Amino acid sequence: MRQVVYSAQARWKLARISKNDARRIRTKIEQYATDPTSLTNNVKKLQGLNYYRLRVGDWRVIFREDGLIVDVVRIAARGEAYEGI
């Protein structure tokens, strides 16, 4: 299993969204960390960048992988997720 590390921005966003959405997002991240090859993860590599996108409903989780570490960089709504990366 991979270790999950949340950036300050990701922790801030998780604290401010609904508890139900935050729980769904955390569950999906942990599911990815446990089994990254599962087709239910809905993960895509972002073009031209060393980042990946995990889709959780209308939310997007932007992360990068460093060996056995999943570094969650940003959690944002679908329309805002890719700005400034």
A 10 A CB-CB count for 72 gives 23
The reply to whether 54 falls in a domain is yes
Pick the closest to residue 31 from 63, 5, 54 (CA basis). 54
Q: What is the pLDDT of residue 4?
A: 97
- Split at pLDDT 50, 70, 90, the class of 40 is confident
Residue 31's CATH number: 3.30.2310.20
The reply to whether 85 falls in a domain is no
Per-residue model confidence as pLDDT tens digits over 41-75: 999 999 999 999 999 999 999 999 999 999 999 99
The reply to whether 50 falls in a domain is yes
**How many domains, in total, are found in the chain?**
1
Say which residues have a Cβ less than 8 Å from residue 14's Cβ, sequence separation at least 6.
6, 22, 25, 26, 75
The reply to whether 30 falls in a domain is yes
Determine the structural domain holding residue 24 and report its residue range: 3-77
Q: What is the pLDDT of residue 11?
A: 98
Query: What is the pTM for the complete model shown?
Result: 0.92
**Is the distance from CB of 70 to CB of 29 less than 8 angstroms?**
yes
In 1-85 the beta strands, taken as DSSP E runs, fall at 3-6, 43-45, 52-56, 59-66, 69-77
The reply to whether 56 falls in a domain is yes
The reply to whether 84 falls in a domain is no
